[in-house]
Amino acid sequence: MIGEWLDIGWVNEIPVRGSRTVPVEGGEEIAVFRTSDDRIFALVNRCPHKHGPLSQGIVHGHSVACPLHNWNIALATGEAQGEDKGCTPVIPVKIDGGRVLICRASTLKAAA
């Protein structure tokens, strides 16, 4: 039986102020971020602007700067910040005993 949450690994496997990726077969890649205050966020790995891989951007505060054109995306909401408009789907995350779990339904939806 598969639960509601997908276990993707240890928190410590994600560099602080960095990210890791989780490809989903047949769909979008998920980017999982770890911020300087040790919180974990996950977004579809695609900037709403020109689809830059957000996982490769500079993580600062609770935002990530897209590596292609420097759009700033809020990790909690997926919303572009400042003058830019656009949104990247957010994947709910939770931490349990040092393991990172991402929401199964949202992951499958993102993959569809």
Partner 1 sequence: MDFQDYQPREGTDEPADRFSGDPREHLVVVGNGMAGCRAVEELLARDAGRYRITIFGAEPHVNYNRIMLSPVLAGEKTFDEIIINGRDWYRDNGITLITDDPIVSIDRASAAVTSRSGRTLGYDRLLIATGSDPFIIPVPGKDLPGVVSFRDMKDVDTMLAAAAKGGAAVVIGGGLLGLEAAHGLALRGMNVTVLHLPGSLMERQLDEAAGWLLKTALEERGQTILTGADTAEIYGDGKVEGVRLKDGREIPASLVVMAVGIRPSVALAREAGLEVGRGIKVDDHMVTSDPSILAVGECAEHDGNVYGLVAPLWDMCRSFADGLTGKANPYRCSATSTKLKVAGLDVFSAGDFSGVGGGCEDIVLRDASRGIYKRLVLQDDRIIGAVLYGDTADGSWYFDLLRKGECVADLRDVLIFGQAFASGGGAADPKAAVAALSDDAEICGCNGVSKGQVLSSIARGAHSLDAVRVTCKASASCGSCTGLVETLLAITLGDDVQAGSKTMCKCTTFTHDDVRREIVAQDMRSIPEVMQKLHWSTPDGCSSCRPALNYYLLCALPGEYIDDQQSRFVNERMHANIQKDGTYSVVPRMWGGLTNPRELRAIADVVEKYNAPMVKVTGGQRLDIFGIRKEDLPAVWADLNAAGMVSGHAYGKSLRTVKTCVGSEWCRFGTQDSTGLGVRIERMTWGSWMPHKFKIAVSGCPRNCAEATIKDFGVVCLDSGYELSVGGNGGIKVRATDLLCRVATEQEALDYCAAFIQLYREEARYLERTAPWIERVGIDYVKQRIVEDEIGREALRARFLFSQGFSQDDPWAQRAEGVAREQHAHMAQFRPARLEEMA
Binding residues for partner 1, rule: CB under 8 A, are 1-2, 6, 8-9, 12-18, 20-27, 32, 35-39, 41, 50-53, 56-63, 65, 67-68, 70, 72, 74-77, 79, 107-108, 111
Tell me the C-alpha distance between 109 and 72, whole Å: 24
Tell me the C-alpha distance between 67 and 54, whole Å: 7
Tell me the C-alpha distance between 97 and 60, whole Å: 25
Nearest approach in angstroms of CB 7 to partner 1 is 8
Nearest approach in angstroms of CB 15 to partner 1 is 6
Nearest approach in angstroms of CB 86 to partner 1 is 14
